[in-house]
Amino acid sequence: SIRLQLCRCALLFTAALVVVGPRAMASPPRTFHRRPLPAPAVAFSSPEGKRLFAEALDRGTLGCFFRLIEQFHTQGEPAFCGLGSLAMVLNALGVDPKRVWKGPWRWFSEQLLDCCEPLERVQERGITFSKVACLARCNGAHVEAHRADEAESDRGATLEAFRKAVRRTCESEAEEENFQVMIVSYSRKALGQTGDGHYSPLGGYHAETDQVLILDVARFKYPPHWVPLTTLWS
């Protein structure tokens, strides 16, 4: 038939093009599926991580863990660690956003956290420590903010003050009206991890080994993990 002949001609023509001039194929973009968790971090689900969790639970230094784990959130964009941490914490604290999330529901999502910095800018550049504190305050949370590099002028920014604050937040019980949580801003480089500036909430403290449990909101990269408090401070 004419149709069959046309098809054959098209096939021959296509084959001729492939032989005469093969098209250069573009290299596929480099992608990743998670990262190996380097020492000194201890994965939450590892045998050692489970032991640390069980001992911390027995000693009462996981008071903030359960309300946080109910709201554990993976940041929605690579640069949304600050927004993802804050949405998780505000929901764990039971703060009413006074705005609709979807349908009839009032609930914190990263998209609602836009009162201090445009979301487009955060998606491109991330967000500063002061802007995270600003977002928490303007969305109804009481905030104490301390920077480790201001220890000389801020008594609440020393290593010992940091350890006391960790113990205070991790020993608080979920049913207490003054329930507190802590978000830490730190450099991944100090922990031997890839990347640099990052935010995540703390979910617990192991006093005997002086380690904290980081509930890493970049779950596509690293799982929750225990790290030495002093290393995190550095």
Active site residue 81: yes
Q: What residues pair up with 228 in beta bridges, in sequence order? A: 211
How would you class 219 by CB atoms within 10 Å of its CB: exposed for 0-12, middle for 13-18, buried for 19 or more?
middle
**Active-site pick, 64, 170, 198, 225:** 198
What backbone torsions phi and psi does residue 172 show, to the nearest 5 degrees?
A: -75, 145
Query: Is 146 considered catalytic here?
Result: no
Is the link from the previous residue into 47 a cis peptide, with omega within 30 of 0?
A: no
Judge whether 216 counts as a catalytic residue: yes
Sign of CA dihedral 146, 88, 128, 36: positive
CA-CA distance, 73 to 70, in Å (whole number)?
9
Pairing of strands 197-206, 211-214: antiparallel
Tokens of 57: 């639970």
Question: Which candidate in 81, 116, 170, 225 is catalytic?
Answer: 81
Q: Out of 64, 116, 216, 225, which one is annotated catalytic?
A: 216
The set of catalytic residues is 81, 198, 216
